[in-house]
Amino acid sequence: MARGEMLTVFSYDVSQDKRRRKIAHLLEDNATRVQYSVFEVRISRQKTEALCQRLAAHLGEGDSLRVYVIGHDGERRSRVFGDGAPFESDAGYWLL
């Protein structure tokens, strides 16, 4: 993991299709989709803040964006069950 980067999870609930597509496209360009409205990425605090501002600009009334930053200890204790994609590896690739 690059210095200063942490596993960050973005989750959104957006009611209008047009706004939802814009948010999804921004996240697809920057993160890995792990569920329909959930994305994960290793990213620095500064880049997280910049991305959050860009995403929040597309939120409407009643919409929500949640951002969870998972530290090293929390990541080590996190698990994926079922057919979900594994957490993004430090090396930038996944072994399946």
Q: Report yes or no on 55 lying in a domain.
A: yes
Q: Report yes or no on 39 lying in a domain.
A: yes
How far CA 28 is from CA of 5, 10, 21, 35, 95, in Å, comes to: 18, 11, 10, 12, 21
Q: Report yes or no on 96 lying in a domain.
A: no
- Domain total in the chain: 1
Q: Report yes or no on 73 lying in a domain.
A: yes
Q: Report yes or no on 82 lying in a domain.
A: no
Global pTM exceeds 0.85: no
State the sign of the Cα–Cα–Cα–Cα dihedral 5, 41, 48, 51.
positive
Q: Report yes or no on 88 lying in a domain.
A: no
User: Residue 94: which region, alpha, beta or left (left: phi > 0; alpha: psi -120 to 50)?
Assistant: beta
Q: Report yes or no on 84 lying in a domain.
A: no
Per-residue confidence (pLDDT) for residue 39, from 0 to 100 = 96
Task: State which residues form the domain around 65.
Answer: 5-77
pLDDT in tens, the chain (96 residues): 556 889 999 999 999 999 999 999 999 999 999 999 999 999 999 999 999 999 999 999 999 999 999 987 777 777 777 776 666 655 554 444
Q: Report yes or no on 89 lying in a domain.
A: no
Looking at residue 56, which CATH number applies to its domain?
3.30.70.240
| Pair type for strands 38-44 and 5-13 | antiparallel
Per-residue confidence (pLDDT) for residue 40, from 0 to 100 = 95
